[in-house]
A and B are shown apart, each in its own frame.
Chain A
Amino acid sequence: MAINVKVVERPIEETSYVRATLKGMANTLKHLVGGHRVTTQYPEQRESISRRWRGTHRMLTTEDGKAKCVACGLCPTVCPANCIKLVPGEDEQGNRYPLVFDIDEFRCIFCGYCQEVCPEEAIHLGRHYENAEFNREGFIYDLERLMAQTHPVTEMWDPADPKGE
């Protein structure tokens, strides 16, 4: 059985290499002199990021500067990456508070479940993306660091307002 090869008689515009080349050169020249630049000049200019951007965490504080967290243990339980380390403590009045609250930002997948589940609205993800560190240990954020962060926090997706308007 012979293979059926379809022979297409191509028009001259499609077979001429010189014409295609000249056309291409005109095109590149047009872009060259067009002067339109799309690059964001990063440290000086920044792209605006979404209000639902999920970056590194923040622990919100009460007026007297304590962490809002009551060490309920919901966030370490829900965390799919298992990256929250929580050791609960209790003071004389019987208030629970976190003795240790570490988040390994390297293991975190920024799913936002911890923020979603927190009954005290204590732990939040942040709208922030500049996270360079000199070593891996620097990415384990302890309670002090989580409280010291100042960047704006993420807004969670609201089913009543799916487009965030």
Chain B
Amino acid sequence: MSMVTNSLLLQAVIDPQGPIAFWPWLAFTGVKLLVFFTIYMLGVAYLTLAERKISAWIQHRHGPNRVGPNGFFQPLADGVKNFLKEETLPPYVNKAMFILAPMMAFIPALTIWCVIPWGASWASPWGRVDMVLADLPIGFLFTIAVASLGVYGIVLAGWASNNKYALLGGLRSSAQMVSYEISMGMALIPVLLFAGNVTLRSIVDQQAQMHLWNVLTLSIAFLVYLISAFAETNRLPFDLPEAESELITGYHTEYSAMKFSLFFIAEYANMATQSAMIATLFFGGWDIPFMTADNTGAVSFPLVLLSMAIMMAKTLFFLFFYIWIRWTLPRFRYDQLMSLGWKVLLPLALAYIVIVATLMLVLDAAGIDRGLVYGLIFLGVNAVLLGLFFVFLDRGKIVSPANAPLHAEELKRLRGITASRARLSALSGD
């Protein structure tokens, strides 16, 4: 009895905006863990269905429609199938690494999900509850670090399989991921400059404060990040590690049943994570558009739910975008992939950092505070930069064509060399 009155008394003095005590925190974290990961795993399962359905619709088919109403239980059937299938372990593989690899691909994808803020904080009767599993002070540095761990799973899978196709897939994957990770990190630096902090929460707050999403103020960074995200998740047009037509699905050639399924889940989990990251970093995260009530620290529960719905909608849109692109673009050639990463995206990202940093220095010196005007100036600059991007870069330079363009002078020079060689050999008489 006294316990109850005690807690009631306590409740009266707790500030809903203030930090939460340990036990309620633990309870809430448990609940959040359950809810977020249930949604995540179900989402990943249904993402496979979504991909099959959308691809079918684009190709004028019906897609899976036999299990449950309109194929709704297809992911369950797939799951059961994968559990019941035979686990093959080829005799020539490196057993320990072969078994470890799918886990190494799967766990990083899962881990990043913890740091993504899903909604405004809730002013609960026990104190402030953040809608994020772990509000890490190192924020997106953690996501970059962990996302890059995913490549180990793929490389190990390729290596441990002891199969030339698998090894090629693994090698391609490592080269691809390492090169695109750099552009990805560089694309995040303008965001970091804006927010002045690496926590994802402060990035969302900064966008709310500026009344403009980062996609408008930092468009080039967004483009670079988007393309790198495609490469990081091994999705078409950058699915060279799998490349069914030339590598018989690359690194997971030797895998079967649930181990294969883990790679599959990891790919979709990565997609979901990257979509949520794009939504957070460039599309305002959980911030409710045209509303300031949600930016005042902790808010009431309906508002929290609304902000979570907004974040979910943005994430779903990017998931759809991933699938949409997959069924639109053909796979890149390997040299195109590398030249895009190193010769276009990286210099672009670096130049953009310089431009953004300079502009920020100038604007800060001019005494413009970081509000709407600040954002609009950046918007204008971006419009100009995007114009330049399309006028200069998008002239056969982004993707090198199969017949590399040869300029007339270059051709003349080459012909001159051939001609003088012919003369020389005629003179020397052989």
Contact = CB atoms under 8 A, between A and B. Distances in A.
A12 B397 CA distance: 11
Contacts of A5: 406, 411
Size range of the interface on A?
A: 20 to 34
Contacts of A21: 328-329
Contact of B395 (A12, A24, A29): A12
A19 interface: yes
Given A2-B415, A15-B396, A39 B62 contact: yes
A54 B328 CA distance: 41
A17 B394 contact: yes
B395 A15 contact: yes
A25 B57 contact: no
B61 interface: yes
Contacts of A16: 390, 394-396
B415 A25 contact: no
A25 B328 contact: yes
B62 A37 contact: yes
A55 to B, nearest CB: 26
Contacts of B394: 15-19
Contacts of A34: 60
B292 interface: no
A17 B399 contact: yes
A15 B401 CA distance: 8
Interface string A2-35: 1001010010100111110100110111011011
Given A18-B390, A25-B328, A28-B327, A37 B398 contact: no
Interface string B397-430: 0110100011110010011001100100000000
Nearest to A15: B396
Interface string B28-64: 0000000000000000000000000010011111100
Nearest to B61: A39
B362 to A, nearest CB: 29
A36 interface: yes
B324 interface: yes
Contact of A41 (B59, B62, B399): B62
A7 B408 contact: yes
Contacts, number: 65
A160 interface: no
A38 interface: yes
Contacts of B327: 28
Interface residues of B, number: 30
A38 B406 contact: no
Nearest to A19: B394
B406 A7 contact: yes
A35 B394 CA distance: 34
B175 interface: no
B325 interface: yes
Contact of A24 (B57, B329, B422): B329
Contacts of B411: 5, 7
A2 B416 CA distance: 9
A2 B401 contact: no
A39 B62 CA distance: 7
A81 to B, nearest CB: 36
B407 A18 contact: no
A10 B65 CA distance: 46
Interface in B44-94: 54, 57-62, 65
A34 B422 CA distance: 61
A38 B59 CA distance: 9
Nearest to A29: B324
A36 B406 contact: no
A37 B328 contact: no
A37 B58 CA distance: 10
Contacts of B329: 21, 24
Contacts of A19: 394
Contacts of B415: 2
Contacts of B65: 41
A38 B60 contact: yes
Nearest to A21: B329
A32 B58 contact: yes
Given A5-B406, A7-B411, A21-B329, A37 B395 contact: no
A7 to B, nearest CB: 6
B396 A32 contact: no
Contact of B58 (A1, A2, A17, A28): A28
Interface in B144-170: none
Interface of B: 54, 57-62, 65, 324-325, 327-329, 390, 394-396, 398-399, 401, 405-408, 411, 414-415, 418-419, 422
9 contacts: A7-B406, A15-B395, A18-B394, A24-B329, A31-B57, A31-B60, A32-B54, A36-B60, A39-B62
Closest 3 CB pairs of A and B: A15-B396, A17-B398, A2-B418
Given A15-B394, A19-B394, A34-B60, 5 more contacts: A25-B328, A27-B328, A31-B60, A32-B324, A38-B61
